[in-house]
């Protein structure tokens, strides 16, 4: 660096490189390998909190729980977008900078690469014996022993070894392994393709889920989803127009051993109507075997039980009849918790809450619980609340939770010290609520969550991944090297051929290439005496 | 359907392989011990000779004949160690094969099986390397982590032979996990080589005679690079295959599940290693440190994420 100001008294000022100079300097810094390395480390470091702090996109429930437990910390996390690391501005900044650095590195390298690919293998160095691998062969005098023929033989041998060969005055130059640089460029460019695929999926894709009870249908429209996330560029009118009906959900569980109750097989039997007007057809959805319906994939999600009940009110009218999905709370026995809300009951609204136990058991420690996920001894255990369900307040309510603020629990009797009414019902049983009505446990059905996803970016992303792998293999395993052959006559008029090789990357077997050429020369020069007199092989340097 | 007899045979074979590996480790350690005594002898021979000449040193005469038998003995122990390692590998292979036959599926459906398989892969990578390079000296540094892994597998991680849950019933289990298992083995060998490189490099800089039996630091660095260059595309493939499987099972190919996140971090760190090796000021010690960081990330992903952090891959624990 030079100081342009000639005045000695003046404080040293930075060189006036100007805005263009600054930009060029910044660009050079950004596209240097060192910066790329640092950005790679930052990317790795930045991903760590995303794996340790609950992420909204991965497990929203865990985020809510974390917030309740650590409200103070959560507000700090919010400021740093730590609940959504992978879409946070700082994480995006890292990978976008890395991409810019990558492209900035690729463009000049592609230019160099294209020039190198078109260039002739370089001229033969003067001192071949200085190269890491070198042999000299003296040919026996004969018809085939002039330098031109020897060079032609060597060139043919090198071409057979898939070298690109160029003839110079009295020598030939050969090079192979251009695929290494090709692979390197393809690998890095493919990463950009993968990123584009991810972006396309984000913009034009959708993901949704819906809980469907056996016997019920699902048609692929916005209103039918319990949960739907669409990309900013996704048009909901483009939802594939299929309809599904869940005929039957089948599950098989481990019967014995310490994994008793563990899931072994799930299948949802469905009837599919691909588009309005097409004939219904039977199909099945299993884990790992989604259904492909016009660009959308339908996956089998969680499953559970929906007890079917009939509720009569105090006047004896049927005010509710149907299957109500309960949510599993215990993965082993599939005990499920749920709520039946009956807003139309008279004289007061009714709410039932409790458990569905597929294979019921009871002990003093746990109370009622389930020992097996299959319905072998199904019981519905409920208690009852009467009053105002709070459904008209305008506040959205969970269908799985009872808001008991304006309700009173129904007791076993009207006595002052009566216990709250809790009853365990077998299929067909009825619980009677004096003056308020009754509930009959009619049976149960199973439900599944169907997850629907559409991702037009997955094909480009996969293609990018496959290309990246191919490029990576080429860039790591193709070993570029150069071989030179020079032939001349010595004082005695015999032809001396020198063969030498140079590695342009780590680890190619140069000796094999050189030996190959020497062998070809010897075998075409076999008219003379034994080859031991002909070859003077220099010892390999390694 | 689980064939209990075969599962039992599998367990016995694994225990037998642990015993044989332990013997192999002892033999390979003995080789080290005897060869370092030889070097000690040579050092004594080289340095004090001049000093002892004046004293008419009879001690030198005593030391010198001792060297050749030690070398022969070291060689013998080395051969025994390597043969035992091969025998252990075969028993281990048989054990895993019986496990697979016992449950009618690939034997890598839980952490016990995955750990045993990756130990097998580490031995396989090492034994394959011994066919190409003269690297018996690496043996003890591979057999030791293999023994530790197997010990952990049969004690802490042991799981009875069982069928798989629906999420794992996919041919991607074969493809994705075999790539991950082989990567685990090769990462282990690569890390052992990187550690040896760092120790040797330090010894060369300080002029100490530690690990004088090993090749020069440069050569160690090159072999470590070869192993890492082999495993990086394999790991890339494991991650891509995992993404395809995830797309097929959960409807998205990448969801930043903790397991996926750490697979990504591991990939990025090993990518940084390959870049560092080509960058002035980073090659050598720093690059080796980056490779070891990558191995640390891999181990974290396997042990901590599987056992502590909950995510979609948490079935891997049982």
Express each pLDDT in A454-488 by its tens digit. Answer: 999 999 999 999 999 999 999 999 999 999 999 98
B279 with A37: Cβ contact below 8 A:
yes
Count of A-B CB contacts under 8 Å:
128
Measure A473 CA to nearest chain B CA, in Å.
6
B237 with A37: Cβ contact below 8 A:
no
* C-alpha torsion B292→B33→B14→A261, nearest 10: -40
Tokens 């060079």 found at: A151
B222 with A506: Cβ contact below 8 A:
yes
What's the pTM value of the predicted model, to 2 decimals?
A: 0.85
DSSP A377: B
Predicted local distance difference test score (pLDDT) of residue A401: 86
> Residues B256, B246: contact at Cβ < 8 Å?
no
Closest CA relative to residue A341, chosen from A412, A399, A422: A399
B236 with A472: Cβ contact below 8 A:
yes
B243 with A297: Cβ contact below 8 A:
no
* Contact residues on chain A for B243, CB-CB shorter than 8 A: 465
Which residue of chain B has the CA closest to A267?
Answer: B166
Predicted local distance difference test score (pLDDT) of residue B61: 42
Predicted local distance difference test score (pLDDT) of residue B132: 85
**Range B189-204 average pLDDT:** 94
B272 with A57: Cβ contact below 8 A:
no
Mean of the per-residue pLDDT values for chain A?
Answer: 87
pLDDT exceeds cutoff 80 at A357: yes
A44 with B268: Cβ contact below 8 A:
yes
* Contact residues on chain B for A476, CB-CB shorter than 8 A: 229, 232-233
A33 with B265: Cβ contact below 8 A:
no
Angle between helices B139-155 and B111-132 (to 10 degrees): 170
* B252 CB within 8 Å of a chain A CB: yes
What is the interface pTM, i.e. ipTM, of the complex?
0.83
* B281 CB within 8 Å of a chain A CB: yes
What are the pLDDT digits (tens) for A494-530?
A: 889 999 999 988 777 888 889 999 998 888 876 543 3
Predicted local distance difference test score (pLDDT) of residue A24: 85
Task: Determine the structural domain holding residue B192 and report its residue range.
Answer: 4-316
pLDDT exceeds cutoff 70 at A416: yes
Predicted local distance difference test score (pLDDT) of residue B43: 46
B254 with A198: Cβ contact below 8 A:
yes
pLDDT exceeds cutoff 80 at A540: no
**Range A298-325 average pLDDT:** 94
Select from B257, B275, B305 the Cβ nearest to the Cβ of A58: B257
Tokens 């097996």 found at: A372
Per mean pLDDT, which range of A139-153, A361-375, B62-76, B121-135 is the poorest? B62-76
3-class DSSP state of A430:
strand
What are the pLDDT digits (tens) for B43-76?
A: 444 444 444 444 444 444 444 444 456 778 888 9
B233 with A299: Cβ contact below 8 A:
no
Predicted local distance difference test score (pLDDT) of residue B238: 96
Mean of the per-residue pLDDT values for chain B?
Answer: 85
The span from the CA of B119 to the CA of B107, in Å, is: 13
Question: pLDDT above 70 covers what percent of chain A?
Answer: 94
* Contact residues on chain A for B276, CB-CB shorter than 8 A: 37
Tokens at residue A403, please? 């808001």
Measure A311 CA to nearest chain B CA, in Å.
37
* Contact residues on chain A for B314, CB-CB shorter than 8 A: none
* Contact residues on chain B for A263, CB-CB shorter than 8 A: 165-166
* B254 CB within 8 Å of a chain A CB: yes
- Stronger pLDDT, A403 or B193, i.e. the higher one: B193
Domain boundaries, chain A: 19-115, 130-177+482-532, 201-303+451-470, 309-446
Angle between helices B139-155 and B58-103 (to 10 degrees): 40
Domain count, chain B: 1
Tokens at residue A59, please? 């497990």
A40 with B272: Cβ contact below 8 A:
yes
What CATH number does the domain located at A130-177+482-532 have? 3.30.310.80
Per mean pLDDT, which range of A486-490, B192-196, B227-231, B285-289 is the poorest? A486-490
pLDDT exceeds cutoff 70 at B268: yes
Cβ count near A535 (within 10 Å) = 16
Measure B166 CA to nearest chain A CA, in Å.
5
> Residues A290, B251: contact at Cβ < 8 Å?
yes
Predicted local distance difference test score (pLDDT) of residue A531: 41
Interface test with A, best of B251, B277, B297, B316 (most A CBs within 10 A): B251
pLDDT exceeds cutoff 80 at A382: yes
Radius of gyration of chain A (CA): 39
Cβ count near A463 (within 10 Å) = 14
Tokens 């070859």 found at: A535
Measure B285 CA to nearest chain A CA, in Å.
15
Which residue of chain B has the CA closest to A292?
Answer: B248
Closest CA relative to residue B89, chosen from B122, B132, B112: B122
- Total residues belonging to chain A: 542
DSSP A20-45: HHHHHHHHHHHTSHHHHHHHHHHHHH
**Range A389-412 average pLDDT:** 83
> Residues A409, A402: contact at Cβ < 8 Å?
no
Tokens 């011990």 found at: B33
pLDDT exceeds cutoff 90 at B291: yes
Interface test with B, best of A44, A251, A296 (most B CBs within 10 A): A44
Per mean pLDDT, which range of A86-95, A437-446, B39-48, B209-218 is the poorest? B39-48
Q: How confident is the model at residue A447 (pLDDT cuts 50, 70, 90)?
A: very high
| CA A136 to the chain's CA centroid | 55
Per mean pLDDT, which range of A196-200, A203-207, A263-267, A392-396 is the poorest? A392-396
**Range A53-72 average pLDDT:** 86
Measure B37 CA to nearest chain A CA, in Å.
28
Angle between helices A89-118 and A18-30 (to 10 degrees): 90
> Residues A323, A446: contact at Cβ < 8 Å?
no
Predicted local distance difference test score (pLDDT) of residue A143: 64
Predicted local distance difference test score (pLDDT) of residue A15: 62
Lateral strand order in the sheet of A281-285: A217-219, A243-253, A263-273, A281-285
Q: How confident is the model at residue A533 (pLDDT cuts 50, 70, 90)?
A: very low
């Amino acid at each position: 660096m030079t100081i342009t100001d000639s005045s000695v008294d003046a404080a040293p000022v930075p060189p006036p490189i100007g805005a263009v100079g600054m930009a060029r300097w910044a660009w050079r810094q950004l596209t240097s390998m060192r910066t790329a390395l640092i950005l790679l480390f930052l990317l790795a470091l930045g991903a760590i909190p995303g794996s340790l702090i609950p992420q909204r996109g991965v497990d929203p429930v865990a985020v809510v729980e974390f917030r309740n437990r650590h409200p103070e910390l959560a507000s700090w996390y919010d400021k740093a977008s730590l609940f959504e690391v992978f879409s946070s501005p700082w994480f995006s900044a890292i990978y976008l900078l890395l991409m810019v650095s990558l492209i900035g590195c690729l463009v000049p390298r592609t230019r160099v690469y294209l020039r190198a690919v078109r260039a002739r293998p370089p001229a033969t160095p003067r001192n071949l014996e200085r190269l890491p691998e070198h042999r000299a062969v003296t040919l026996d005098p004969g018809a085939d022993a002039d330098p031109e023929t020897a060079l032609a033989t060597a060139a043919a041998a090198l071409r057979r070894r898939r070298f690109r060969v160029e003839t110079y005055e009295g020598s030939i130059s050969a090079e192979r392994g251009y695929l290494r640089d090709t692979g390197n460029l393809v690998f890095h460019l493919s990463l950009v393709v993968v990123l584009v695929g991810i972006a396309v999926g984000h913009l034009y894709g959708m993901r949704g889920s819906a809980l469907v009870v056996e016997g019920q249908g699902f048609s692929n429209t916005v209103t039918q989803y319990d949960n739907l996330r669409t990309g900013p560029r996704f048009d909901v009118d483009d939802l594939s127009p299929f309809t599904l009906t869940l005929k039957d959900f089948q599950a098989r569980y481990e019967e014995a051993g310490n994994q008793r109750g563990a899931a072994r097989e799930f299948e949802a039997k469905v009837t599919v109507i691909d588009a309005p007007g097409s004939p219904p057809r039977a199909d099945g959805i299993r884990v790992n075997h989604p259904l492909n319906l016009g660009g959308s994939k339908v996956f089998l999600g969680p499953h559970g039980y929906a007890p079917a009940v009939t509720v009569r009110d105090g006047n004896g009218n049927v005010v509710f009849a149907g299957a109500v999905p309960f949510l599993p709370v215990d993965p082993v026995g599939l005990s499920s918790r749920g709520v039946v809300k009956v807003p139309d009951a008279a004289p007061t609204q009714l709410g039932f809450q409790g458990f569905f136990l597929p294979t019921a058991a009871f002990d003093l420690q746990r109370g009622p619980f389930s020992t097996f996920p299959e319905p072998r001894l199904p019981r519905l255990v409920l208690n009852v609340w009467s009053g105002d369900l709070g459904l008209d307040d305008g506040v959205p309510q969970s269908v799985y939770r009872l808001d008991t603020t304006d309700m009173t629990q129904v007791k076993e009797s009207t006595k002052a010290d009566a216990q709250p009414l809790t009853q365990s019902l077998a299929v067909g049983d009825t619980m009677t609520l004096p003056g308020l009505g009754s509930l009959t446990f009619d049976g149960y059905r199973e439900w599944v969550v169907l997850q629907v996803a559409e991702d037009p970016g997955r094909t480009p992303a996969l293609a990018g991944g496959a290309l990246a792998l191919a490029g990576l293999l080429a860039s790591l395993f193709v070993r570029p090297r150069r071989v030179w052959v020079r032939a001349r006559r010595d004082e005695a008029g015999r032809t001396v051929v020198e063969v030498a090789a140079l590695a342009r990357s780590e680890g190619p077997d140069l000796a094999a290439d050189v030996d190959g050429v020497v062998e070809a020369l010897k075998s075409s020069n076999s008219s003379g005496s034994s080859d031991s007199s002909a070859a003077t092989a220099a010892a390999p340097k390694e | 359907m689980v064939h209990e007899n075969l599962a039992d045979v599998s367990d016995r074979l694994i225990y037998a392989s642990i015993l044989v590996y332990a013997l192999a480790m002892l033999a390979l350690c003995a080789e080290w011990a005897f060869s370092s005594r030889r070097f000690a002898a040579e050092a004594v021979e080289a340095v004090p000779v001049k000093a002892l000449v004046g004293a008419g040193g009879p001690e030198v005469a005593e030391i010198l004949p001792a060297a050749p038998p030690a070398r022969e003995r070291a060689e013998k122990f080395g051969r025994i160690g390597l043969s035992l390692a091969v025998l252990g590998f075969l028993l281990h292979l048989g054990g895993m094969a019986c496990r697979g036959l016992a449950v009618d599926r690939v034997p890598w459906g839980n952490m016990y099986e995955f750990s045993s398989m990756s130990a097998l892969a580490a031995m396989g990578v090492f034994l394959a390397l011994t066919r190409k390079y003269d690297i018996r000296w690496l043996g003890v540094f591979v057999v030791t982590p293999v023994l530790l892994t197997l010990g952990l597998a049969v004690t802490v991680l042991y799981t009875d032979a069982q069928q798989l849950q629906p999420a794992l019933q996919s041919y991607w289990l074969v493809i994705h996990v075999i790539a991950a298992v082989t990567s685990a083995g090769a990462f282990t060998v690569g890390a052992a080589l990187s550690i040896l490189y760092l120790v040797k490099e330090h010894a060369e800089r300080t002029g100490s005679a530690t690990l004088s039996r090993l090749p020069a630091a440069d050569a160690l660095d090159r072999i470590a690079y070869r192993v890492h260059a082999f495993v990086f595309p394999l790991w890339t493939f494991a991650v891509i295959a995992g993404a395809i499987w995830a797309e097929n099972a959960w409807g998205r190919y990448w969801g930043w599940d903790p397991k996926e996140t750490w697979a990504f971090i591991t990939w990025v760190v090993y990518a940084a290693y390959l870049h560092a090796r080509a960058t002035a000021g980073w090659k050598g010690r720093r690059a080796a440190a980056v490779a070891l960081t990558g191995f640390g990330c891999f181990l974290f992903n396997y042990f901590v994420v599987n056992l502590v952090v909950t995510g979609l891959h948490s079935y891997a624990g049982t």
